[in-house]
Amino acid sequence: MASRVVVIGSGIGGLTAAIALRAEGHEVEVYDQATTFGAIGAGVSLGANGTRLMDRLGLGPALREVGSDLHRIQFHEWRTGELFYEHPMGDWYTGRFGAPFLGLHRADLQQVLLDAFGSDGVRLGRRCVAIDETPDGVDVTFADGSSTHADLVIGADGVRSTVRQHVAGPDEAVFAGMSCFRGLVPVDKVPGGDRMGLTFFLGPVSHLVVYPVRRGELINFVAYTRDEAWTDESWSAKGDASQAVAAFEGFNDTVLAMLGAVEDTGRWALFDREPLRQWSTGRVTLLGDAAHPMLPHAGQGSNQAVEDAAVLAHFLGQPDLPVGAALTAYETVRKPRARQLQLGSRGNAKCFQVPDGPEAQARNERLANLPDMVSWIHQYDAHAELQGATA
């Protein structure tokens, strides 16, 4: 069984995996190309399928302290802002699914994970450029000329993963024909912001997802619009408030006030990739966006990375299971669910953006069944799933 594990990438999936693997007795180091700790100014939502796993790692209290419990879900008409569907979450959601639905600032979530793992275990400024794998171990080379040796390497290095290329070869990103603006706005600058839970504004060619983070002090928005011209995939790409307001001309006053109040907004094109046939080689595997980059329309990117981390740590914690067999078992459990969510996330955009009139009305009526439609996602318990799994 692997004893020295190197994780490439210090995002949500990489740090969660590092914490879970160390709890199983492994020596773990994390390497990241970033030169400083920090995170994009954006929100992350964790449903019960993610938060229950965080609870089992002992991180639940810290996450509840910095997060916002999303106490209701609401859908609004785009022009008037009229509420056409609402369902309680909060206690109802926790009672049904066994753990809360939290809105979190990405930087707050990353800090909780860093505090749990220890920032001294993360090596910054190390961009992975080469992987040399043998039956006995893996050598990782970084752009600065340094290198390290491990029994196992985990690629948690995102949608442009270097480790993914080692495992599966080069592939092309798939453009969704859509871009999004993201930003954070003080709650007092958003009309009705103090009453918002998980909130949607749905239009024919654009829609927004809005929810509170950081104990309700900030409102996070992700504003999607069909756009074949904007193809910049970078998370560091900047937009500005005037661009966002112009892109959502005709939306209701709440949306326009929120978009106009943002001081720092990012804008990027949406890409995913086709599902992989394999996630692993003998001593190298993938996790999170490196394994299954998905569009954000199911809100499951971070949750799936957390699920990956829990399942991978479980199999690598079996003392009599060789590394290769553990990675095969990990893929067997995780690939079908991740693939279903990857492909389903593509289809969800078509649900959120439909023409006004009969199509929108039919969509709105279907939302009455929303809790049952998404229950398979949120009630999933990765640890329970493993009870009957064999390697």
Closest CA to 142 of 8, 27, 15: 8
Distance from C-alpha of 322 to C-alpha of 87, rounded to nearest angstrom: 47
Nearest to 307 by CA among 131, 53, 63, 105: 53
Pairing of strands 266-272, 102-105: unpaired
CB 369 within 8 A of CB 87: no
The sign of the torsion formed by the CA atoms of 16, 20, 22, 27 equals: negative
CA nearest neighbour of 284 among 140, 125, 178: 140
Burial of 133: CB neighbours in 10 Å, binned 0-12, 13-18, 19+ = middle
Catalytic residues: 211
Closest CA to 264 of 240, 296, 228: 240
227 contacts 179 by C-beta, under 8 angstroms = yes
CA distance 8 to 15: 10
**Strands across the sheet with 43-46, in order?**
43-46, 102-105, 68-69
Q: How far apart are the first and last CA of the chain?
A: 14
